[in-house]
């Protein structure tokens, strides 16, 4: 088995253990403090921000236009529509602008 495959498998196992570990720890508590619950509910937005912010700061016109379109679409539509619209604008502008 190649080294690359072993790295991918190890990453998958560690990711799984990290996710299931959080569930195991939280399942031991009868009640979760409201602040902890609020923090856990904020994690998806924080992760999305860490993925999007560098692209905005280091990106060019296609990235900025895609973010603008996705932001505007998010005001009226759901998440999947927002992501699809942003991706379509990004792919189209990257193709047209080189």
Q: 3: buried, middle or exposed (CB in 10 Å: 19+, 13-18, 0-12)?
A: exposed
Output 48 or 2, whichever has higher pLDDT: 2
Residues 98 and 53 in one domain: yes
- Smallest CA-to-CA distance from 51 within 31, 26, 70, 37 is with 70
Task: Give the model's confidence band at 41: pLDDT under 50 very low, under 70 low, under 90 confident, else very high.
Answer: confident
In the chain, where does DSSP find H-type helix? 3-27, 34-58, 61-74, 79-97
Q: Which two tokens stand for residue 95?
A: 């193709």
**What's the pTM?**
0.57
Answer whether residue 12 shows pLDDT above 90: yes
The pLDDT score that the predictor gives to residue 69 is 95
Alpha carbon 68 to its chain's center? 17
Q: How many CA atoms lie within 13 A of 12 on its CB side?
A: 6
- Which residue range is the domain that position 97 belongs to? 43-98
pLDDT for 58 beyond 80 = yes
- Domains contained in the chain, number: 2
- Using CA atoms, how far apart are residues 47 and 31, in angstroms rounded to an integer? 25
26/56 same-domain check: no
Residues 83 and 61 in one domain: yes
């Amino acid at each position: 088995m190649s080294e690359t495959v072993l790295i991918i498998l190890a990453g998958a196992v560690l990711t799984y253990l990290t996710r299931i570990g959080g569930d195991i720890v939280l399942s031991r508590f009868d009640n979760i403090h409201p602040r902890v619950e609020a923090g856990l509910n904020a994690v998806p937005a924080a992760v999305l921000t860490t993925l999007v912010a560098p692209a905005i700061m280091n990106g060019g016109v296609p990235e900025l236009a895609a973010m603008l379109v996705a932001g505007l679409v998010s005001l009226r539509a759901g998440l999947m529509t927002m992501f699809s619209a942003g991706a379509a604008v990004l792919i189209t502008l990257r193709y047209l602008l080189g």
